[in-house]
Amino acid sequence: MPVLSVTTIQTHLHWEDKAANLRMLKEKILAIPEHTEVVILPEMFSTGFSMYPQALAEKMDGTTVNWMQTLAAKKKVILTGSIIVEEGNKYYNRLIWMLPDGKYGYYDKRHLFAYASEDAAYTAGNKRLIASVKGWKINLQICYDLRFPVWVRQKNYPNSESSTPMPEYDMIVYVANWPESRNHAWKTLLQARAIENQCFVVGVNRVGNDNKNIYHSGDSMIVDPLGEVLYTRAHQEDVCTTILQKQKVESARKQFPFWKDADSFLIDP
């Protein structure tokens, strides 16, 4: 079974200062000593969780996407995290999945955080992105999406190698700016999503205070398909590379084939 090296970057973010954030993150990424294949940054990694997209949004050929292309190529990694994007006179909290060859996919945050008026500043997405790398399928999500299990729920799909349908992905990634005041929900729901979908879950959060003096404790986490925490770190910056074994997914599903009893459903776009 293939293994996948994943590096999580839990970091403080400079408020609405793209140049400072990109400079800081570049240093951290280039300094990763281990071989790694996927590098994961927090939500809105170039600005912090800002509700002022008019001043901060970029086009898809803008500075930050170009920065991701250059760095992914130089480090020979897949680089992912969300940024503020303008497209068609609308603003999106958009996760970019940047490949080393400069090609990319993207996911627009489905669930906008009305508690902080994100829904007033941004447009919600309506399509999931499940990326593929080394035989792994990875479901890419953003922060508040974590609270909505139906959106991320596994669907069984036809398997070309067998007549038996199989779950559609092996890992969920959540990039976030999730405050410490609700970190119990963050930690609990990351484990719940892993258990109910029988997959790895990787949650990458920021640390430190933002411009509204909201403190973020990090609590970035990697959870295995049985809900066991493989890695977590709180209250400090941390760059951690973890080697994930796909065999753990296969073994969990074989030993506990709960996925076969799941309900069928459709999601209204």
| Active-site residue list | 43, 109, 143
121 exposure class (CB count in 10 Å sphere: 0-12, 13-18, 19+): middle
Structure tokens that stand for 21 in this block? 């954030």
